[in-house]
Amino acid sequence: MSKISELFDVTIVTENTKVCNKCKQEKSIKEFSFCNGGNYRRSECKTCANSLQKERKRLKSISPKLPENHICPICKKEEQELQGRGGKDNPAFVLDHCHDTKKFRGYICQSCNRALGTFHNIELLSNAIEYLKNPAVI
């Protein structure tokens, strides 16, 4: 496995196949949608993406609404400060949930949501914090 595939939790087996980062199954590259406006394929297969979309919809129906004057609990930014950062069709804040327990955690901004998704788990996030506190000097 290459360093890039380890870092992004993606495995490309051949030019025509890829391993889904959710179900871990090797599938035809056609089973992976292109990212919005991107020239590359998503890391989860279409089946897993559909399941995730259904789970988000279910959580939105049972979770509390976004409070007025909400501030992202991670970066502490207000909606006005986040304008345009989620894309033209995306709201400033998104529903955050635990992918393991399927439980609602709150609302965070698009940028913080992407950052948390990149780190996958607490151990990686802790490693990143340690690195920022004590960067290697070359």
104-130 tens-digit pLDDT: 999 999 989 988 888 878 899 999 999
- Domains and their CATH numbers in the chain: 1-50 (3.30.60), 63-133 (3.40.1800.10)
86-107 tens-digit pLDDT: 555 678 899 998 888 889 999 9
Residues 6+ apart with CB under 8 A from 26: 11, 13, 17, 18, 19
3-class state of residue 34 by DSSP? strand
In contact, 11 and 1? CB cutoff 8 Å: yes
pTM of the model: 0.70
| Long-range interactions of 39-46: CB distance < 8 A, separation 24+ | 43/8, 43/9, 43/10, 44/20, 45/20
Q: Which range (31-40, 64-73, 99-108) has the least confidence?
A: 31-40
Percent of the chain with pLDDT over 90: 49
